[in-house]
Amino acid sequence: MKKKFFKKAAVLAIAGAMAVTSLTACGGSKDEGGKEGDSNSLTMAWWGNQVRNERTQQALDAYKEESGVTVSGQFYQWGDYWSKMATSAAGKKMPDVIQMDMSYIKQYVDKGQLLDLTPYIEDGTLDTTNISEDVVNMGKVGEGIYGIASGTSASCMFYNKTLLDELGITIEDNMTLDEFIDISKQVYEETGYRSNLYHYGLYMEMYARANDIQATDKLGGDSADDYLPYFETLETGIKEGWQISPSQAADTDSVEEDPMVYGSNPDNMTWCTINGSAQLTAYQTAAPEGTEIALTTIPTSDPQKSNYVKPAMYFSVSADTANPEEAVKLLNYLTNSEDAYNILLAERGVPASTAISEAIMDKLSPAEQENANFVNNVIAPNSSPMPPFAVEGSTEAQDLLRKLEEKVKYGEYTAQQAADEYFTEANKMLQGE
């Protein structure tokens, strides 16, 4: 009885395996055939969450109605997205339209993976009349324009407004670092809640800009001494207790696990954190009921120098696309179509086109409106130009920075040691040694 069962199973298995081989081989070739000949279909890839996936696909469906071009969307989680893009780029199979980020665009341009949009802007295929020159230039790498900003955003500091209100503290925008430290000490002493300024290595950019030592293809400044105050502030913060350390709560890039919104008691929670302003909605959703989250500028010695308006992300076109004309038309739709933005709203930052952002303003949620107001009316009037694009070694340098911050937080390194190592090692990484 049993023997028969397994004999049958084995025969079935072998037959099945053969069937699969022929079946899938067919599928593969069919797929390829479709891609070559069809000028009415495009592919587009992005990273993001459920809301973005939903809205983008809807906008793409609407585009099909309008133009007859089918756009199939592919979406991944942030980290996976970049592995996928790099691998497809190696195989010259990148999707036609791709969502790009400030920290990656230069590498992709340098390696010849993106299409220069300048000719299409000149002939009007990509209409930029409603976009300010500053915003158009956000996509400028070297001589060409390789991406069109989907919208604008800014780095900011989020804080627990409910808590500060109870203490009678009001946060003014463009607060300086000294003011921030005073507040931090006060909050810590009175409630036990700490601050989270040194978080995921995000603060360095702001510090460097405020002190005129912004990184280019190497670190700014002449010596490690230029970075010493950065680590000293961190060291003091840990010593005095107002800066949170990993032994109280893990340093994370996830909004929901951020100690500002998650924790069991003040000892392992913070009253502030730094991140991108578009995350206001996410923080508000994640915060416990009755806690109001607000946003302000990141405190530095000179906020006017450190503040800047940045592209939330870009839309770019792959250099390998079989159909550049159609791909750019899709870009144009994603930039200038009011219909599209009635669906997309401010999901990818405050829309780059001023006409669009005015038209949809009323439809935005209160948090999205607050963010738009913050970028347009708080950051923009009191800011400096965008930093140069990240070079190839900067991810590694950023990783090093995170580790050095960690070592200082654990007391493993003194501020001096961290500054020394950062200056020599990060410089090597940025210069590709």
Partner 1 sequence: MKAKKRTGTIIYHIFVCGFGLLMLYPLFWMFMSSFKETNTIFTTARSLIPDPFTAENYANGWEGFAGVSFATFFKNSLFVSILGPIGTLASSACVAFGFARCQFRGKKILFAAMLASMMLPGQILMVPQYLWYEKLGWVGSFAPLIVPFCFAIQGFFVYLMMNFIQGIPRELDEAAKIDGCSYYGIFGRIILPLMSPALITGAIFSFMWRWDDFMSALLYIDDPNKYPVSLALKLFCDPGSSSDYGAMFAMATLSIIPIVLIFIFFQKYLADGIATSGLKG
Partner 2 sequence: MNKSSRFYHFINKEKNVGVIFCLPFIIGFLVFLIVPMGISLYYSFCDYDILSPPEFVGLKNYIEMFTQDEVFWHSVKATFYFALVSVPLRLIFALLVAMILVRPTKATGFYRAAYYLPSIIGGSVAVAILWKRMFAPDGVINSLLGLIGIETNFAWLSDTRTAIWTLIILAIWQFGSSMLIFLSALKQIPKELYEAADVDGANKFTKFFKVTLPLLTPTIFFNLVMQIINGFLAFTQSLIITQGKPMDTTLFYAVYMYQQSFNFNQAGYASAMAWVMLLLIAVITFILFMTKRFWVYEQE
Judge contact between 299 and 305, C-beta under 8 A.
Answer: no
> Among residues 12, 165, 267, 363, which is the contact residue for partner 1, using CB under 8 A?
12
| Under rule CB under 8 A, residue 78 binds partner 2 | no
| Under rule CB under 8 A, residue 339 binds partner 1 | no
| Under rule CB under 8 A, residue 65 binds partner 1 | no
| Under rule CB under 8 A, residue 263 binds partner 2 | yes
CB of 432 to partner 1, least distance (A): 20
Question: CA 106, CA 137: separation in Å to the nearest integer?
Answer: 14
Task: Please identify, using beta-carbon distances, which residue of 179 and 267 lies nearer to partner 1.
Answer: 267
CA 324 to mean position of chain CA atoms: 26
Task: Please identify, using beta-carbon distances, which residue of 49 and 431 lies nearer to partner 1.
Answer: 49
| Under rule CB under 8 A, residue 365 binds partner 1 | no
CB of 406 to partner 2, least distance (A): 6
Task: Please identify, using beta-carbon distances, which residue of 56 and 383 lies nearer to partner 1.
Answer: 56
CB of 293 to partner 2, least distance (A): 21
* Amino acid (1-letter code) at residue 206: M
Question: CA 232, CA 239: separation in Å to the nearest integer?
Answer: 10
| Interaction pattern, residues 137-176, with partner 1; x per rule: CB under 8 A | ----------------------------------------
| Under rule CB under 8 A, residue 248 binds partner 2 | yes
Q: Look at residue 430 and give the partner it binds from partner 2, partner 1, none, a contact being a CB closer than 5 to 8 Å depending on partner kind.
A: none
Question: CA 278, CA 350: separation in Å to the nearest integer?
Answer: 9
| Under rule CB under 8 A, residue 103 binds partner 1 | no
Q: Look at residue 51 and give the partner it binds from partner 1, partner 2, none, a contact being a CB closer than 5 to 8 Å depending on partner kind.
A: partner 1
> Among residues 43, 107, 211, 306, which is the contact residue for partner 2, using CB under 8 A?
107
Backbone angles phi, psi at 429, to 5 degrees: -65, -45
Question: CA 330, CA 96: separation in Å to the nearest integer?
Answer: 10
**Stretches 61-69, 162-170, 212-220, 398-406: which one binds partner 2 (CB under 8 A)?**
398-406
Q: Which residues 45-64 are close enough to bind partner 1 by CB under 8 A?
A: 47-54, 56-58
Residue ranges in contact with partner 1 by CB under 8 A: 2-3, 6-7, 9-10, 12-14, 16-17, 20-21, 24-25, 27-29, 31-32, 43, 47-54, 56-58, 72-78, 80, 83-84, 86-88, 90-91, 93, 95, 253-257, 261-262, 264, 276, 278-279, 281-282, 285-286, 288
Residue ranges in contact with partner 2 by CB under 8 A: 82-83, 86-87, 89-90, 107-108, 111-113, 246-251, 257, 263-265, 267-268, 392-393, 395-396, 399, 403, 406-407, 410, 412
